[in-house]
Structure 1
Amino acid sequence: MAILLGNRPTRPEAAVTGDATATLRLTDRVVAEYSWRPDLPVALAPRPYLHPVRTLGGVTVTELMPASHRHHLGVSVAVAEVDGANFWGGRTYMPGHGPAWLDNQGTQAHTRWLRRGPDRLGHTLRWTGIDGAAVLTERRELSCRPVSADAWALDFGFSLTNVTVRELPFRSPAVHGRAGAGYGGFFWRAPQPGSPVRVDSARGTAVHGRTADWLSVNGGDWTLVFLGATARTRADRWFVRTRDYLGIGSALAWDEPLLLAPGDTLERRIVTVIADGPVSPARAAAYAGELAA
């Protein structure tokens, strides 16, 4: 594995051929578009993503490939490191050195549709390292449903199975010593609003690096409420960044590696309420009770 200390990866930015998109609809309204076979350069760790995701009022609440972090792809499953492979995109954090370009970006590729309806998508994926060898297979389920006159819910579930003959460690930069950088797993890149961002949770406003049954982010004319929809998902810590960019994630490996044995499967499920306008903490807590059973 070569290291390049400049601004480009060591391998040419080859692309996954053929872009393809599916939609999630509520009645006649498209609320989200899902790029299930995106045409992306290798340096971004190509993977399926949701963008744009919109409120019922039509406000876009995702951001795609912003100038400062081109590897941020709307809503996706992105992991900083799986057994040395970078499924996050961009640079890899190196202990004692910091972020560096490595020739180690992986790819998540669609393999088969399980279902494809207006309000529900399900498919399987194959996670491969830069050498083309499979490390994980995934089953992913996406669905949408209305929850009120001004809000709808996105249900995002995924299961990852180790298809190698060795134990796979999942790591974040925090595992390697970068304090607070425990990101990796379900990740939502939101647009930076013009007004100050307000963060609330079941455990107060300081939720970064902590567990909480629900987490809400208000961007002025929209609110996102994130709910861990299973007990195991709720045991993961939240990654919340509001300075420089707005990103929210449910972390698989905060400061200790997550170890997945050969043949074993990990499962996570996040429900996100996408609302026009503000959502009170009491309403967010009620969503958690209603939707995260």
Structure 2
Amino acid sequence: MEHSGTVRELDADQPVRLQVDGREVASYVWRSELPASTAPRPFLHPVRTLAGTVVTDARPHSHTHQLGISIAAPDIGGQNFWGGRTFVAGHGPAWLDDHGTQRHQRWLRHTDSELAHTLHWVDREGAALLSERRAIACVPLTPDAWTLSVQTRLANATDRPLPIRSPAALGRVGAGYGGFFWRGPAANGQVRVQSPAGTGVRAVHGTTAPWLTVSGASTNAQWTMLFVPADATTAQDKWFVRARDYLGVGSSLTWDRPLVLEPGEQIERHILAVVADGNLTEDAAAALAEAARPPA
């Protein structure tokens, strides 16, 4: 994840606008004035298909801490970098004064279709728990689809072992979220979830699969989000999928047991999100997943 190239001054009050073949497809909010309870962090919203259909939501009424496409974690060393209530073992969700913040540090690269920067994940006192290098790229794929690449390298910035936990690790069965997360838009009617593991949320949630899709319709326009792990390590992470109450997909850093980073230890993850107009069939999704995946 070494990056060099075009870097120019950016207005801290304005998102970075990203393009594919001259069409604006995403905005990256890299600094924002959000309440501490949201675990403030950079996020992508709105993200659009090539035809202009918005396929993300941010700060919705149902879960105001969910922010488009972001990287978030509910428990890092006892600090909430997800937002909202914290799950407490033996008690359940509770409002605690434990929310962290992701702070931009330095731009490494920025063009019309790519960006890379460094961040610190800090607690409420401003102490860094994680240091991160993040790279985002927008790549044309077909006349009806483009690929969003999200790559992260997370390193323990403390002098002690740093546990990363999901609520599932604390007893909330099935709640193995944390890592890359997409909050989908309000959809008209039913949405369809499919993957090689099966069709429907129950078949996919908590499994590993080489790809999964969510297809729906918003304002009479059909769309599909196709999620693909881009490397062997990310492919071992389980999918978190939600289609009741809200629409969301995550690639989980850890499911029901802590992931502990030793001082200086780092992990890398790389997710591809293909943003497509129309509702993809299973065969079409498999073909696009293969086309989007980088060569071995």
TM range (shorter): over 0.9
Q: State the match for 2:233 in structure 1.
A: 232
Could you give the per-residue CA deviations for residues 190-229 of structure 1, whole angstroms, max 9, x where no partner exists? 0121120100112112110000010000013000000000
How far the C-alpha of 1:101 sits from its partner, in A, is 0.9
Q: State the match for 2:247 in structure 1.
A: 246
How far the C-alpha of 1:41 sits from its partner, in A, is 1.0
Q: TM-score, structure 2 length as denominator?
A: 0.92
How far the C-alpha of 1:68 sits from its partner, in A, is 1.6
Structure 1: gaps of 5 or more residues: 1-17
Q: TM-score, structure 1 length as denominator?
A: 0.92
Q: Bigger CA drift: 196-205 or 44-53?
A: 196-205
Name the SS of the counterpart of 1:170 in structure 2.
Answer: strand
Name the SS of the counterpart of 1:137 in structure 2.
Answer: strand
Give matches, 1:140-179, under 5 Å.
140-179=134-173
How far the C-alpha of 1:282 sits from its partner, in A, is 1.3
Q: Bigger CA drift: 65-74 or 281-290?
A: 281-290
Amino acid at match of 1:239: F
Q: Bigger CA drift: 193-202 or 18-27?
A: 18-27
Could you give the per-residue CA deviations for residues 110-133 of structure 1, whole angstroms, max 9, x where no partner exists? 000000100101000011011111
How far the C-alpha of 1:20 sits from its partner, in A, is 3.2
How far the C-alpha of 1:280 sits from its partner, in A, is 1.4
Q: State the match for 2:207 in structure 1.
A: 210
Q: Say yes or no: does 1:188 pair with 2:186.
A: no
Name the SS of the counterpart of 1:219 in structure 2.
Answer: strand
Distance 1:204 1:274 in 2: 21
Amino acid at match of 1:251: S
Q: State the match for 1:118 in structure 2.
A: 112
Distance 2:135 2:159 in 1: 26
Give matches, 1:1-293, under 5 Å.
19-205=13-199, 206-220=203-217, 221-293=222-294
- Checking the alignment, whether the CA contact within 8 Å between 1:186 and 1:249 is kept in structure 2 is yes
Q: State the match for 1:4 in structure 2.
A: none
- Checking the alignment, whether the CA contact within 8 Å between 1:173 and 1:181 is kept in structure 2 is yes
Q: State the match for 2:5 in structure 1.
A: none
Q: Provide the alpha-carbon RMSD of the alignment.
A: 0.9
- Checking the alignment, whether the CA contact within 8 Å between 2:177 and 2:254 is kept in structure 1 is yes
Distance 2:223 2:284 in 1: 14
Could you give the per-residue CA deviations for residues 214-263 of structure 1, whole angstroms, max 9, x where no partner exists? 00000130000000001010100000000000010001111011111110
Amino acid at match of 2:238: R
Name the SS of the counterpart of 2:95 in structure 1.
Answer: strand
Distance 2:279 2:132 in 1: 35
How far the C-alpha of 1:27 sits from its partner, in A, is 2.6
Distance 2:130 2:271 in 1: 20
Could you give the per-residue CA deviations for residues 61-81 of structure 1, whole angstroms, max 9, x where no partner exists? 000101121100000001000
How far the C-alpha of 1:285 sits from its partner, in A, is 1.4
How far the C-alpha of 1:19 sits from its partner, in A, is 3.3
Name the SS of the counterpart of 1:289 in structure 2.
Answer: helix
Amino acid at match of 1:45: A
